[in-house]
């Protein structure tokens, strides 16, 4: 593979600001996402892909035709081009650190921003490798421009090396994944694959087909404002009631105290005045029954407060967001088995574990496109300390090629 070309492709992508915006109702949520979408459309055409399209929502799709005579299931690869709204993505200046020595990396000397293995221990996994970081003032965007780089690079490699046999492959690049909408306008029928893989994981070797069941809970506390000098027996301060509610939520079931398959309640925002206070929670659990219990816990606590303070004292709205894709992937476990075999054949140790988060693959799986998640290589997403080992990008590219090859072999 042309590693220099892959590196230059990744650096070119991350320099394009594609930050999404949850407050927008448009798709894509920001106009600037169109720039990379258009670049990708043109690049897919340039490398020789067919059926290249970009729709009115900025979803980019393309086809690599089969080069074998026997029937092979059509498979797909998916990545998103937006970056997180959690941290600025304006004027990304990637930094390249060759032959990493395992010590602190000074990202920004003037602002004393340091990426240190004393805090981010995973850095030590990549001693001797080439790390790509930010300059400490923006996120990097490896989530998920590393995934896009890998898919485009793999398709180009397959086109340039026709001796590698494969069936029909479809690729899709989506907007707004970071705000939970990446699959909302995904045309599964148009995509036409029997199954797909999102290239959106983190550490080298990650292979995931489980994710959280997810819901949001919005709770509004109603108060009453009167002049504080004459408030006795009249004022109702909604912020105090909200604080009381927070105190009765289980602290041990929060992100700070959970790991693995343990679910949580996460208080993501508090906005309040005397008259009304809004709490926003996200609810997560891999187990569907425990997920139901967590939602019911909030409803029961709301009822308790209504009994204490009155029926109109607070309001609650709970909305399901997505579900654990394991339910849809397990019936077609050969999809995961093929990815695992591809990794092992390349000397990569598969790390099969549940995602402590969501993925477009979850929604796509429930839309009829089973879609486990494969590592893209990056670490510390959504912030100034994001980095990606370049060798992991190359390995992920090789995994895509090998999955395509194995799929064709198994179909004989």
Q: Point out the catalytic residue in the list 177, 200, 208, 276.
A: 177
Residue 254 predicted with pLDDT over 90:
yes
Structure tokens, 275: 């008259």
**Residue-level pLDDT at 360:** 86
| Span 309-316, average pLDDT | 97
| Span 326-333, average pLDDT | 95
Distances in Å between the Cα of 99 and the Cα atoms of 129, 182, 302 are 5, 36, 56
Structure tokens, 166: 């494969």
Q: Point out the catalytic residue in the list 82, 200, 285, 360.
A: 82
190-248: per-residue pLDDT in tens?
999 999 999 999 999 999 999 999 999 999 999 999 999 999 999 999 999 999 999 99
| Span 158-168, average pLDDT | 98
CATH superfamily for 3-210+324-410 is Zn peptidases (3.40.630.10)
Residue 253 predicted with pLDDT over 90:
yes
177: annotated active-site residue: yes
Class of residue 259 by CB neighbours under 10 A (exposed 0-12, middle 13-18, buried 19+): exposed
Spatial separation of the C-alpha atoms in residues 10 and 148, rounded to whole Å = 8
Residues 6+ apart with CB under 8 A from 165: 67, 68, 405, 408, 409
Tell me the average pLDDT of the chain: 96
**Residue-level pLDDT at 147:** 98
213-322 domain in CATH 3.90.1150.140?
Answer: no
Instruction: Break the chain into its structural domains and give their ranges.
Output: 3-210+324-410, 213-322
Is residue 369 within 8 Å of residue 37, measured between CB atoms?
Answer: no
**Residue-level pLDDT at 18:** 98
Taking alpha carbons only, the member of 72, 309, 79, 61 closest to residue 188 is 61
**Residue-level pLDDT at 168:** 98
- Give 1's pLDDT tier (boundaries 50, 70, 90): confident
What proportion of the chain, given as a percentage, has pLDDT over 90? 95
- Give 357's pLDDT tier (boundaries 50, 70, 90): confident
- Give 313's pLDDT tier (boundaries 50, 70, 90): very high
Q: SS3 sequence, the chain? A: CCHHHHHHHHHHHHCCCCECCCCCCCCCCCCCHHHHHHHHHHHHHHHCCEEEEECCCCCEEEEECCCCCCCCCCEEEEEECCECCCCCCCCCCCEEECCCCCCCEEEECCCCEEECCCCCHHHHHHCCCCEEECCCCCCCCHHHHHHHHHHHHHHHHHHHCCCCCCCCEEEEEECCHHHCCCCCCCCHHHHCCCEEEEEEECCCCEEECCCCEEEEEEEEEECECCCHHHCCCCCECHHHHHHHHHHCCCHHHCHHHCCCCCCEEEEEEEEECCCEEEEEEEEEECCHHHHHHHHHHHHHHHHHHHHHHCCCCEEEEEEEEECCCHHHHHHHCHHHHHHHHHHHHCCCCCEECCCCCCCHHHHHHHCCCCCCEEECCCECCCCCCCEEEHHHHHHHHHHHHHHHHHHHHHCC
Cα angle for residues 156, 159, 162 (degrees, 5° grid)? 145
Residue 278 predicted with pLDDT over 80:
yes
Same topology for domains 3-210+324-410 and 213-322, yes or no?
no
- Give 358's pLDDT tier (boundaries 50, 70, 90): confident
Find residue 216's DSSP bridge partners: 282, 319
Pairing of strands 169-174, 75-80: parallel
């Amino acid at each position: 593979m042309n590693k220099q070309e892959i590196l230059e492709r990744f650096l070119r992508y991350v320099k394009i600001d594609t930050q999404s915006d949850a407050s927008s109702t448009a798709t894509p949520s920001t106009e600037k996402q169109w720039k990379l979408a258009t670049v990708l459309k043109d690049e897919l055409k340039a490398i020789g892909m067919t059926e290249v399209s970009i729709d009115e929502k900025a979803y980019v799709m393309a086809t690599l035709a089969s080069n074998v005579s026997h029937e092979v299931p059509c498979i797909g690869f998916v990545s998103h081009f937006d970056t997180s709204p959690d941290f600025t993505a304006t004027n990304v200046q990637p930094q390249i650190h060759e032959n990493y020595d395992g010590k602190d990396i000074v990202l920004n000397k003037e602002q004393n921003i340091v990426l240190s293995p004393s805090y981010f221990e995973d850095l030590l996994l990549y001693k001797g490798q080439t790390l790509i970081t930010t300059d400490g003032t923006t996120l990097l965007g490896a989530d998920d421009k590393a995934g896009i780089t890998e898919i485009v690079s793999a398709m180009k490699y397959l086109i340039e090396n026709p001796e590698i046999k494969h069936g029909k492959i479809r690729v899709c690049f989506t907007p707004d994944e970071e705000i939970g909408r990446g699959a909302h306008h995904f045309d599964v029928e148009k995509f036409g694959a029997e199954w797909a893989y999102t290239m959106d994981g983190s550490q080298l070797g990650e292979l995931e087909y489980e994710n959280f069941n997810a819901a949001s809970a919005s709770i509004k506390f109603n108060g009453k404002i009167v002049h504080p000098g004459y408030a006795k027996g009249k004022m109702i301060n909604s912020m105090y009631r909200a604080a009381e509610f927070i105190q009765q939520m289980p602290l041990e079931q929060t992100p700070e105290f959970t790991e693995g398959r343990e679910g949580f309640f996460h208080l993501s925002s508090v906005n309040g005045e005397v008259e009304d206070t809004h709490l926003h929670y996200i609810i997560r659990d891999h187990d569907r029954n425990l997920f139901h219990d967590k939602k019911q816990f909030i409803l029961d606590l709301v009822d308790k407060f209504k009994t204490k303070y009155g029926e109109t004292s607070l309001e609650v709205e709970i909305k399901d967001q997505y579900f654990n894709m394991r339910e849809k992937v397990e019936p077609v476990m050969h999809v995961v088995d093929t990815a695992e075999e591809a990794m092992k054949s390349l000397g990569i140790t598969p790390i099969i574990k549940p995602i402590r988060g969501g993925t477009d693959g979850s929604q796509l799986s429930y839309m009829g496109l089973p879609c486990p998640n494969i590592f893209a290589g990056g670490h510390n997403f959504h912030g100034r300390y994001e980095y990606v080992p370049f060798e992991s990008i190359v390995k992920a590219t090789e995994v895509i090629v090998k999955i395509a090859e194995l799929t064709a072999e198994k179909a004989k």
